[in-house]
Amino acid sequence: MTLLEFFSSPSSRFHMIPKEFSAEFDSLLHAQEWKKELNVIEMDASRCINKRSLFTEWKTQLEFPFYFSDNWDSLDECINDLSWFPDKKGFLLVIRNSEDLLKEQEEDLSYCNECVA
C-alpha cells in the first residue's frame, strides 16, 4: 500500500499519528512523491486554542473562499466540499500539537470532530 492509498482510504478521512510515530511520519511526509499527488498543509493546534483562533488559523492556512464565515457549519462545508480548492488534487492536513486544539473551549471539540471526521 502506498502512502497516498493509506490516506485516501474511503473508510476514514481523518488519521491521528501518535507521538511515538511522529519522526517516522515526518520522514514520509517530506518525501517528494507527496508533493505530486497531495497538497500538504501543516497547522499548529497551539494556535487554535479557542473557536475564534481556530477559525482564523484554518481560514488562513487553507485559504478558504471569501464566503467562509467563522462558524462550525461553514467550516464543515469548506472541509467537506472542496470545489473551492484551486488545485484539484487532494490535500493532507497535518495538525501538530493536537492536544492543544480548543484547550480553552473543550466543549467545542465535538463540533470540530464532526467537521473533520
Give DSSP secondary structure letters for 33-65.
HHHHHEEEEEEEGGG-SSHHHHHHHHHHHHT--
Question: Residue type at 98?
Answer: S
Residue 73 CB coordination number (10 Å): 10
Over residues 14-20, the mean pLDDT reads 66
Tell the residue number behind the cell numbers 473543550, with chain if given: 106
Over residues 11-40, the mean pLDDT reads 69
pLDDT band at 1 (very low <50, low <70, confident <90, very high): very low
* This prediction's pTM: 0.69
Contact 49, 100 (CB under 8 A): yes
Q: How far apart are CA 103 and CA 83, in angstroms?
A: 31
Over residues 91-109, the mean pLDDT reads 79
Q: What is the per-residue pLDDT across 31-90, written as a single tens digit (0 to 9) for each?
A: 666 667 777 788 888 999 999 999 999 999 988 999 999 999 999 898 888 788 777 677
pLDDT score recorded for residue 98: 81
pLDDT score recorded for residue 82: 79
